[in-house]
Amino acid sequence: MTITATVPSPRTSGGTPRRALAAPEAVWSGQAEARARGKAARRAVSRSAHAAPLRADRDPVELVERANDGRLAHLVPLRVGRMAASPFAFLRGAAAVMAHDLAGSPVSGLTAQICGDAHLSNVGFYASPERRLVLDVNDFDETVVGPWEYDLKRLAVSVVVAGREAGAPEDTCRQAAYDAARAYRQTARTLAKLPFLQAWTFDLAQVLAAADVDDLAGTLDRVRDKAVGNGSAKVAARFTQRVQNDGWRFVEQPPVLTQVVGVDERAVEDGLRGYLETLPAERRTLLARFTVADVAFRVVGVGSVGTRAYVVLLHGNGEDDALVLQVKEARSSVHVADPACEPGPGHDGRRVVLGQRAMQTASDPLLGWATVSGRPFLVRTFRDMKGSIDPVTLRGHQLDDYARLCGALLARAHARTLDPRVLAAYVGKSDELDLALTTFAAGYADRAEADHAALLAAVRSGRLPAESGV
How much of the chain exceeds pLDDT 70, in percent? Answer: 94
Tell me which DSSP letter residue 342 carries. Answer: B
Q: Which residues pair with 294 in a beta bridge?
A: 313
pTM above 0.85, yes or no: yes
At 347, the pLDDT band (50, 70, 90 cuts) reads very high
pLDDT at 27: 53
Per-residue pLDDT of 36-84, as tens digits, reads: 999 999 999 999 999 999 988 899 999 999 999 999 999 999 999 999 9
At 28, the pLDDT band (50, 70, 90 cuts) reads low
Per-residue pLDDT of 441-459, as tens digits, reads: 999 999 999 999 999 999 9
At 9, the pLDDT band (50, 70, 90 cuts) reads very low
Per-residue pLDDT of 124-169, as tens digits, reads: 999 999 989 999 999 999 999 999 999 999 999 999 999 999 999 9
- If DSSP states are collapsed to H, E and C, what string results for 244-296? CCCEEEECCECCCEEECCHHHHHHHHHHHHHHHCCCCHHHHHHHCCCEEEEEE
How much of the chain exceeds pLDDT 90, in percent? Answer: 85
Per-residue pLDDT of 260-296, as tens digits, reads: 989 999 999 999 999 999 999 999 999 999 999 999 9
Q: Rounded to a whole number, what is the distance in angstroms from the first to the last CA of the chain?
A: 61
Backbone angles phi, psi at 234, to 5 degrees: -70, -40
Residue 115 pLDDT more than 70?
yes
Q: Read off the pLDDT of each residue in 360-378 and give the average, rounded to a whole number.
A: 97
Q: Read off the pLDDT of each residue in 306-332 and give the average, rounded to a whole number.
A: 97
